Amino acid sequence: MKTITEIRKDFPILNMKVNGKSLVYLDNAASSQKPVQALDAFCRFCESRYANVHRGVHTLGEHATTDYEAARTKVAEFVNAPSSKGIIFTRGTTESINLVAYAFGRRFVKHGQAILLTPMEHHANLVPWQLMAKSVGAELRFWPMKPDGTLDMEAGKKLLDSSVALVAITHVSNVLGTINPVREIALMAHQVGAKVLVDGAQAVPHMPVDLTEIDADFYAFSGHKMLGPTGIGVLWGRLDVLEDMEPFLTGGEMIKEVYLDHATWNDLPYKFEAGTPPISEAITLSAAISYLNDVGMEWVYSHTRALTSKAYELLSQEPGVTVYGPAVDRGPVVAFNVAGIHPHDLAALLDQEGVAIRAGHHCAQPLMRWLEVQATARASFYLYNTMEEIDVMMDAIRMAKKVLRVA
């Protein structure tokens, strides 16, 4: 087991000084930092095995293809996907969800049917459904939430009837930290014949995720939030559902035969991977997953849970601070506001102390309205954060209150 000091050494950026202070990076829900192991994997790959994949019969082409497909298997194992053929590399969660909205939604959701969402969805799991619903004449429903920011299961059940074609729901909220009972919801949804998409962008980086157990139809996540690079994400889909879908993006790689006037499609998962895929990103993501595996996802989960509890507690005790979301059983994200300080000012003042938090609507404007705020501050944790960093953050918050003369 690596110690936290050893882990921190693997992330060179954590040694940075920001405004003369040691960086305290608490914006992990927006994007995580990358360990040298991942950067090295990228460089090694580019310096010795790079070529385009699935095309060349030359040695580099073989190597690149082998590595790229090994990355697919690595991802499949990491989330215990029933089959690596259901792992489609995309650019990120956003593209993954759009793929489903276009290739599944616009084809299989019918006029008068409903999509069931929650008010805590990230825009990535809301706007694609708005457009899709409008284009086919479907209805959007929203699963009610309890005041603590968890789903009201009883109220939601009433909305989940046989007119629901799809339930699209986040696994972990990027604002409230709420962990939704996606396995239970998938079961309920399947009972009424609805398909289920889970937005796992905030879950896969932070807890062991078992796609076989959750048994949804689609599951989406991003590489850059789990120590991996930008430019890559994953859509996992059930093979039978993917088989029934037409392709989304088209071009090279995803075809079998092309004539001037028509074309036929390649097998899964290639049918959904048009053009040159994110090859070096897949290799880099694979190294990031190896890193997470070495540290252990159970450890990551309990470590960030401890950080979250401490932050939640200290913030709740701080005068003038409102904390949002459930008190327990939450992901490593704590959204809050300080009375009299606009979150942007708070973030800017914390930055003067080297503390990077995020401020804004966190791509969840409807949830902001539900919370009756314009914006919030948000601290989010990852495996390399320490208990001391939370103390630094709290000191910086007190400093900000002083600067802006808030009691």
Ligand X SMILES: Cc1ncc(COP(=O)(O)O)c(C=O)c1O
Q: Taking the complex as a whole, how short is the minimal distance between the CB of residue 3 and ligand X, in angstroms?
A: 29
Q: How far is CA 253 from CA 27, 87, 236, in A?
A: 36, 16, 19
Q: Taking the complex as a whole, how short is the minimal distance between the CB of residue 108 and a copy of itself, in angstroms?
A: 16
Q: What angle do CA 108, 113, 115 make, to 5 degrees?
A: 85
Amino acid at 315: L
Residue 275 interacting with ligand X (CB under 6 A): yes
Classify burial at 53, counting beta carbons within 10 Å of its beta carbon; exposed 0-12, middle 13-18, buried 19 or more: buried
Closer CB to a copy of itself, residue 56 or residue 296?
56
Among 124, 234, 282, 375, interactor with other proteins by CB under 8 A: 375
With contacts defined by CB under 6 A, how many residues of the chain interact with ligand X?
19
Q: For residues 355 and 6, give the distance between their C-alpha atoms in angstroms, rounded to a whole number.
A: 21
Q: How far is CA 405 from CA 223, 340, 392, in A?
A: 41, 9, 20
Q: Taking the complex as a whole, how short is the minimal distance between the CB of residue 140 and a copy of itself, in angstroms?
A: 6
Closest by alpha carbon to 176, among 378, 347, 355, 360? 378
Q: Taking the complex as a whole, how short is the minimal distance between the CB of residue 209 and ligand X, in angstroms?
A: 13
Closest by alpha carbon to 159, among 128, 188, 196? 188
Please, which residues have CB within 8 angstroms of residue 249's CB and are 6 or more apart in sequence?
Answer: 99, 272, 274, 275
Q: 74 to 103, contacts with ligand X by CB under 6 A? A: 92-94
Residue 376 interacting with ligand X (CB under 6 A): no
142 binds, among other proteins, a copy of itself, ligand X, none (CB under 5 to 8 A by kind): a copy of itself
Amino acid at 402: K
Q: How many CB atoms lie within 10 A of CB 88?
A: 25
Closest by alpha carbon to 201, among 373, 364, 4? 364
Closer CB to other proteins, residue 24 or residue 164?
24
Q: In what order do the strands lie in the sheet with 333-338?
A: 321-323, 333-338, 376-380, 358-360
Does 43 qualify as catalytic in the annotation? no
Among 88, 101, 201, 368, interactor with ligand X by CB under 6 A: 201
Amino acid at 56: G
Closer CB to other proteins, residue 57 or residue 407?
57
Q: 258 to 287, contacts with other proteins by CB under 8 A? A: 266
- Of the residues 127, 363, 399, 404, only one is catalytic, namely 363
Residue 174 interacting with ligand X (CB under 6 A): yes
67 binds, among a copy of itself, ligand X, other proteins, none (CB under 5 to 8 A by kind): none
Q: 339 to 358, contacts with other proteins by CB under 8 A? A: 342-345, 348-349, 351-352
Q: Taking the complex as a whole, how short is the minimal distance between the CB of residue 94 and ligand X, in angstroms?
A: 3
Closer CB to other proteins, residue 241 or residue 404?
404
Q: How far is CA 300 from CA 20, 198, 304, in A?
A: 29, 21, 6
Closer CB to other proteins, residue 4 or residue 404?
404
Distance of CA 392 to the CA centre of its chain: 27
51 binds, among a copy of itself, other proteins, ligand X, none (CB under 5 to 8 A by kind): a copy of itself
Residue 122 interacting with ligand X (CB under 6 A): yes
Residue 44 interacting with other proteins (CB under 8 A): no
- In the numeric block, the tokens 């999509």 are attached to 115
Classify burial at 332, counting beta carbons within 10 Å of its beta carbon; exposed 0-12, middle 13-18, buried 19 or more: buried
Closer CB to other proteins, residue 139 or residue 345?
345
Amino acid at 157: K
Closer CB to ligand X, residue 208 or residue 252?
252
Q: For residues 287 and 72, give the distance between their C-alpha atoms in angstroms, rounded to a whole number.
A: 12
Residue 372 interacting with other proteins (CB under 8 A): no
Q: Taking the complex as a whole, how short is the minimal distance between the CB of residue 67 and other proteins, in angstroms?
A: 10
Q: Taking the complex as a whole, how short is the minimal distance between the CB of residue 364 and ligand X, in angstroms?
A: 8
Q: Which residues belong to the active site?
A: 363
Q: What is the binding site for other proteins (CB under 8 A)?
A: 19, 54-57, 59, 61-62, 65-66, 69, 255-257, 266, 342-345, 348-349, 351-352, 359-361, 365, 368, 374-375, 403-405
